Structure 1
Amino acid sequence: MSATEQSTRSAGIADTRSPLRLSPVLIILAALLSGCEEKQAPQAAAPPAPPVTVAQPVKRTVTDWDEFTGRFDAVQQVQVRPRVGGFITAVEFRDGAFVKEGDLLYLIDARPFEAVATQAEGQLSDARAKVELAKRDLERGLALVQTSAVSEQLVDQRRQALQAAYAAVTQAEGSLKAAQLNVEFTHVTAPISGRVSRHLVDLGNLVQGSEGNSTLLTSIVTLDPIYVYFDIDEATYIKYNKLWFEGKRPSSRDTPNPVQVSLTGETKPSRNGTINFLDNQLDVSTGTLRGRAVIPNTDLSILPGQFGRVRLIASAPYEALLVPDTAIATDQSRKILFVVKDDNTVEAKAVVLGPLDEGLRVIREGLKPEDRVVVDGLQRVRVGAKVTPHEAKPAPAGGKT
């Protein structure tokens, strides 16, 4: 092959591999790709605004209450002890039963006391006989002194003997009464009506009377009504005093202020009562003031020693805004409510909470009566985002005054 042919073939190969020979294909591919890019995918539809339930705050008259831990105690409690000593001959009550005043509880052997009473009766009869003899002696002396048959001195002696006889009668009557009381005291009866404890002395045991260390036989406590004692801290006591000076709350010393009591396990108060005692000084070891309320216990279900929660009136009645407690959210240390504005966007409002009142939470600051508060669907709201509000059923408007 000549050099010219090689040169020609080399030039042909070079022409075949040149980009200028491939450009039509590339142009077609580029056109197809650009056409695909120009076709835009349909845009996704925006999600609908989440539904929430809203309600305006409930406006009603409320009263604040403070809560304390209390312990129930009997209005009357008696330790039953014998007033005379002797052997127990009978136990006449059932342990834990309810007894009435005057019911027989124990019998003590009365024979020694009956013998003493019989002896006292004899001494009284003897003293009365001596009075009659002294009367007759004095009458005779008075008749004889008129004729000077006896001296005035003898008459005076007989008058003094009559007075001594009267004194002996009085002494014998006292001895007999004491002996009869001892016989009566052998019947140990219930001094009050109430529930009796178990018997602490069995039949046949010797008990000591009131002249020595008397033996404890049992105890009785009254149940209806019943006391509940509680301790008020110093800050609360100062608050109550301030309210009293301002005329916003009557003093419990002068007025039987109402209290509400809930027992252990109860979620709301079940008993009502009144304050009937405040101590005259604060306990220096605890800084608290002891208070007492009296509670009806007609069903006898409360026993002394039980614990309870005591709610005491803490303010004058006032108008307040209330919302369900479940509508309140927490943002770090703040309490907030989500409020739906006129354009259906959500706004967070910081609020100051008050106490619970019949299942609703008092809002002291940060809320307006016309605000639409999110009460259901809090997990679906975001501040600034739109929502679809639905009105909730209005809450009952009743309240404590």
Structure 2
Amino acid sequence: MNKISYTLSAVALALVLSGCSQPNAQEGQQQPPPLTIDVAQVKMAPVQSWHTFTTRLQAPERVVLKPRVSGQVEQMTFKEGERIEKGQTLFRLDPRPFEVQVETLDAQLVSADAALMQAKSEARRAKQLVAEKAMSTELAEQRAATLRQAQANRDAIAAQLKKARLDLEFSQVEAPISGVISRAIVTKGNYVSAGETTLATIVSDQQIYAYFDVDERTWSDKFAGVDATDAVTVQLQRINGGASVPGVVDFIDNEINPNTGTLGVRAVFDAQQHGLKPGAFARISLGSADAATMPLVPERAIGTDLKNRFVLTVDANNTLQYRLVELGERYGAFRAIKSGLEAGDKVAANGPARVGPGMPITPNMVTLNLDDTRLVIAQRDTQLSAAN
């Protein structure tokens, strides 16, 4: 009897323990809460397709300054690296040899004028005597020839005097253009040779050019109807980054280079306003068409699946879905989407790094800020720059 009672008590105890442990087991099998991730709504904005080219900036005018006459440098009248104006005196050569030459030719011209006056008088007298038959025709012709010789001699000396005065004027070397001058390559006391010795270099600083080559296929596909008079807008990006500089295309070559298969194009920029220097490396972005509205997502939201590109969209049940997309141009931290997304779609802003298709999530909505991202070339800013 006692044995049976012990058995029943053990069974009852087991049932009680089983009933107590069941809720705890169910609690252990509950799913964790959905992962919280950043979710952003697709941003619709007008964008342009850009083509980028590398180049070196060039000054519209660059002068290698050389003297027109030979002589010894007496004075340097500018500060190296400063801005100079057209016509400003930069170097002075010793003027004394040129002054002596001018004085000598002045005296010779006075003598030639006297000889010419005498020859004219004798020619007139000979003409009268021939008419009176008091002089032979042969002698009169000799006096006429002497007159012509005196006139030619006087003209030659006058021409030499004109050149000597020019040489005296050229002993002061003036700036042929306005711009910024380099260091002086030749300084005071040195002898310089006409047309040979380099004194300094001057580059214009109002505007600056960027020459670049566009391949034939790109030009035919994207810019076939473009003319230099259209003032097509461009953006210049410096090597150190920073804000883009607006400009316009002002020259398109008249033929495609058969050796390279490219067309030469030139853009012009305001050099002073933006501190652009000749010789600097730059990237030129050329917009190929008018702006078109496209969806934009963060670049990090895009995943790679073999050859495909995809994003993870969020459906009405807050579940991630796989969506194939066709990529457009990149604009800073954002990417335009040609196809696969529409206005109102929501995407996982940080991409598929920690999540995957079919996962339920808790969305943390974030806003895409495009204020500091250039999506189109600023037409108005560029036109104002060109007008200036």
CA distance in 1, matches of 2:280, 2:53: 14
CA distance in 1, matches of 2:234, 2:325: 29
Partner of 2:238: 263
Q: CA offset at residue 274 of structure 1?
A: 2.5
Q: CA offset at residue 147 of structure 1?
A: 1.9
- 2:376 aligned with 1:400: yes
Alignment-mate amino acid for residue 387 of structure 1? I
Alignment-mate amino acid for residue 310 of structure 1? I
Partner of 2:339: 365
For 1:125-165, what per-residue CA distance to the aligned partner results, in whole angstroms no more than 9, with x for missing partners?
A: 12211221111112212222222111223222222222222
Partner of 1:320: 294
Partner of 2:384: none
For 1:364-388, what per-residue CA distance to the aligned partner results, in whole angstroms no more than 9, with x for missing partners?
A: 1221234223336966644213334
CA distance in 2, matches of 1:312, 1:394: 26
- Which residue of 21, 29, 37 maps to 2:10? 29
Percent identical: 30
Q: Which has the larger displacement, 250-259 or 305-314? A: 250-259
Q: CA offset at residue 283 of structure 1?
A: 8.0
SS in 2 for 1:298: helix
* Structure 1 residues 162-181: aligned runs within 5 Å: 162-181=147-166
| Rg (Cα) greater in structure | 1
* Structure 1 residues 2-401: aligned runs within 5 Å: 25-39=6-20, 40-42=22-24, 43-44=26-27, 46-52=31-37, 54-210=39-195, 214-232=196-214, 234=215, 237-245=216-224, 250-251=225-226, 255-278=230-253, 280-282=255-257, 284=259, 289-299=263-273, 301-331=275-305, 333-357=307-331, 360-375=334-349, 381-389=355-363, 392-393=366-367, 400=376
For 1:282-335, what per-residue CA distance to the aligned partner results, in whole angstroms no more than 9, with x for missing partners?
A: 484x76554332111124722111112211112343332222334333445543
Note closer, same or farther for the CA distance 1:357–1:300 as it changes in structure 2 (3 Å cut).
closer
Q: CA offset at residue 47 of structure 1?
A: 4.1
Alignment-mate amino acid for residue 296 of structure 2? L
TM-score normalized by the length of structure 1: 0.81
Q: CA offset at residue 90 of structure 1?
A: 1.1
Structure 1: gaps of 5 or more residues: 1-19
Partner of 2:380: none
Contact 1:354 1:363 in 2 (8 A): yes
Contact 2:180 2:204 in 1 (8 A): yes
Contact 2:252 2:263 in 1 (8 A): no
Q: Which has the larger displacement, 106-115 or 312-321? A: 312-321
SS in 1 for 2:317: coil
CA distance in 2, matches of 1:197, 1:106: 13
Alignment-mate amino acid for residue 242 of structure 1? D
Structure 2: gaps of 5 or more residues: 378-388
SS in 1 for 2:272: coil
Alignment-mate amino acid for residue 239 of structure 1? T
SS in 1 for 2:325: strand
Alignment-mate amino acid for residue 311 of structure 1? S
Q: CA offset at residue 52 of structure 1?
A: 4.7
Contact 1:262 1:271 in 2 (8 A): no
Q: Which has the larger displacement, 85-94 or 148-157? A: 148-157
Note closer, same or farther for the CA distance 1:377–1:156 as it changes in structure 2 (3 Å cut).
closer
CA distance in 1, matches of 2:3, 2:242: 88
Note closer, same or farther for the CA distance 1:340–1:134 as it changes in structure 2 (3 Å cut).
same
Alignment-mate amino acid for residue 264 of structure 1? I
SS in 1 for 2:278: coil
Q: CA offset at residue 60 of structure 1?
A: 3.5
